[in-house]
Structure 1
Amino acid sequence: MNHLAHAVLAGDDEGRRLGGVLGDFVRGTPDPAWPAAVREGIALHRAVDGYTDRHAEVAAARALFPPPYRRYAGIALDVWFDHCLARDFARWSAVPLAPYSSGLRGLLDRHQALLPPAARRFARYMHAHDLPAGYADPAAIGRALAGIGQRLRRDNPLDRMLPLLQALDGPLQQRFEAFFPQLQRFAREWTPPHP
């Protein structure tokens, strides 16, 4: 799952939502000085990633990718599933996508002092590209994949995967629709680890 899904899965608590977005930018143990809800959001982010990586629907979706793309299918699916979520957001959230997106950017702005440098850069990128609402546009998905590909150390096909994702849209959408309600239930029932 990518940033939009992690924010949605974190629920209504702002601290957890902030932690859900920060999960990709924090390595190791989160700063104990951070609010407990932010640390819980980071732990939930990691639990969601683990659940997603082991899920049969996600494995079936990864299997749709031919070599050499299959090796990077997990990354591509994380981003594409945010596209699936964004383009049908009213189905998954009571809050419309545009205000949800601007609210999430506002949350990052209000807590900028807590953001690691990479998260601050990403917050600026979110503002510049109207994210996460922009994930409803396939072109934004292409840009996101190309950006991720540039940050990886080895040569990879991420900047060329958008046409393949679009060609696989029907079966990927079916996998997403089967998987996401189960992921929502997992996130709702998840309890934070005891310190």
Structure 2
Amino acid sequence: MNVLAHALLAGDDAALRLGGIMGDFVHGKPDPAIPERVRQGIQLHRAIDSFTDSHDEVRAARERLPAPFRRYAGILLDMWFDHCLARGFARWSTRPLEDFSNDLRAELHAAGPLLPDALKRFLGYMDANRLPAGYARAEAIAKALRGISQRLSRANPVGEAMPLLMAEDAMLQATFERFFPQLRAFATEWVARLPPLT
């Protein structure tokens, strides 16, 4: 899952939400200087990714993608599922997408000293493109995929994946509709098992 899903699945806890966004930018064991609840948010991010990657619905969607795109299916599905979530956000949240998105960016700006450098750079991209709300637009997904493609170390087809994703949209939307409620239940249960902060 991508930025919007990780933020939403963290629930109402701003520290968990911050950790959920930091998860893609923190590798290995999180710095113990990071507040405990933020570190738990990073762990939640990793648990969500593991659940997603091992889910039968997601595995089947990956297999539907032809070579050479299948090798990058994790990236492509993460982005497209955020597109599905954004364009149907009212179904999954009582908050308007634009408000949720603006508040998320404000929280990230307020946490500036805690953010890894790569996340600080990405926050500038988020501001410029009004993300994650912008992910409701297919052109924002296309732009993001082109950027990801350029950052990968080897030649890849990620930047040319939009025609395939558009052609498979009905299948991917149906996959998302079946899978995301299960992911949300998993995240809710994961958060409920957290020990209270002392």
For residues 192 and 148 of structure 1, do their structure 2 counterparts lie closer, same or farther at Cα, with a shift above 3 Å needed? farther
Task: Tell me the CA shift for residue 192 of structure 1.
Answer: 4.6
CA contact (8 A) 1:90 1:96 kept: yes
SS at match of 2:61: helix
Q: Which residue of 1 aligns with 2:5?
A: 5
Q: How does 1:153-164 map to 2 (within 5 A)?
A: 153-164=153-164
| One-letter amino acid of the counterpart of residue 11, structure 1 | G
Equivalent residue for 1:20? 20
Which residue in 2 is equivalent to 1:78? 78
Q: Mind listing any 5+ residue stretches in structure 1 that lack a counterpart?
A: none
Structure 1 ranges of 4+ moved more than 6 A? none
Residue 165 in structure 1 maps to residue 165 in structure 2: yes
Aligned ranges for residues 40-189 of structure 1 at < 5 Å? 40-189=40-189
Counterpart Cα distance in 1 of 2:176 and 2:25: 25
Instruction: State the percentage of identical aligned residues.
Output: 61
Take 1:107 and 1:125, find their aligned partners in 2: how far apart are those partners?
A: 15
Q: Distance in 2 between matches of 1:188 and 1:63?
A: 28
| CA–CA distance in structure 2, aligned partners of residues 136 and 120 of structure 1 | 23
Aligned AA (1:32): P
Deviation at 1:28, TM superposition (A): 1.0
Q: What SS class does the counterpart of residue 63 from structure 1 fall into?
A: helix
Q: Encode CA deviations 1:19-44: one digit per residue, 9 max, x unaligned.
A: 00000000111121111110010000
Aligned residues: 194
Q: Distance in 1 between matches of 2:194 and 2:40?
A: 6
CA-CA distance at 1:60 after TM superposition: 1.0
Equivalence for 2:32: 32
Give, in angstroms, the shift of residue 72 of structure 1. 0.8
Provide the rounded CA distance (Å) in 2 between the counterparts of 1:192 and 1:57.
27
2:14 is matched by which residue type in structure 1?
E
Q: Which runs of 5+ in 2 are unaligned?
A: none
**Residues 173-192 of structure 1: CA distance to partner in whole angstroms, max 9, x if unpaired?**
00000000000000011135
Q: Please, what is the CA RMSD of the aligned residues?
A: 1.2
Deviations 1:81-117 (A, max 9, x none): 0000000000011111000000000000000110010
Q: TM-score, normalising length from structure 1?
A: 0.97
Which whole-Å CA distance do the structure 2 matches of 1:37 and 1:7 have between them? 14
C-alpha offsets along residues 35-82 of structure 1, whole Å, 9 cap, x if unaligned? 111001000000000110000000111111111111111110000000
State the AA in 2 paired with 1:176: F
Structure 1 distance, partners of 2:38, 2:144, is 25
For residues 171 and 15 of structure 1, what CA distance do their matches in structure 2 show? 34
Counterpart AA for 1:56: D
Q: Which amino acid aligns with 1:83?
A: H
Instruction: Give 1:147 shift.
Output: 1.1
* Counterpart residue type for residue 150 of structure 1: Q
- Normalized against structure 2, the TM-score is what? 0.96
